[in-house]
Amino acid sequence: MKISTKGRYALRMMLDLAINDTGNYIKIKEIAQRQGISDKYLEQIITMLSRAGYVKSVRGASGGYKLSKKPEEYTVGMILRLTEGSLVPVACLEDDVNECPRSYDCATIEVYKRLNEVFRDVLDDDTIELNDQTVADDVDGWDSFEHINLVVAVEEEFAFKIPMGKIVTMKNVGEMVDIILELGE
């Protein structure tokens, strides 16, 4: 499985909206600047996310975007399926009933079924839910700067900015990044 640029950027945008949620709407230009992505490209992606009901928007000087629901209500799979379509490894697993004429004696179908289960387990169990606490409350002896560098290095594929003095983690994100990098690159 290889995730497209659109899929990666949509996931990064949703994470950015979750991380930087202060209750106010966030402008595309702010997200683009933090993420190092063209604001024109993000506008195309945010339109897709908005039509799906994943984000809500307000026009005007104080307008922008924010998540429609709580971060824990969005799985990585929901976001990627919106941008990528089906995430099954082979076409014969697209439908509930396998219509492939070779499915009954296919030597590889079981491998693809297991691979599909792994994808589903990771993509549908991982959310963009954030655990946001001050460093002093959670990690004794680490200063903010060192821990932030560690988190960014572990989650380098997403390359989002983390507010100073905060620990931001995603449930099981390390496993998901490893699988995407191993299978997609």
pLDDT of residue 130: 65
pLDDT band at 96 (very low <50, low <70, confident <90, very high): confident
Average pLDDT over residues 30-38: 92
Q: What is the pLDDT of residues 108-154, one digit of tens each?
A: 888 888 888 888 888 888 888 865 433 333 333 333 333 333 333 33
Quick check: 18 pLDDT over 60? Answer: yes
For residue 135, count other CB atoms closer than 10 A to its CB: 19
pLDDT of residue 81: 93
pLDDT of residue 2: 82
| Secondary-structure class of domain 5-184 per CATH | mainly alpha
pLDDT of residue 43: 95
pTM (2 decimals)?
A: 0.68
Q: Which of 16-25, 114-123, 150-159 has the lowest mean pLDDT?
A: 150-159
Average pLDDT over residues 31-54: 94
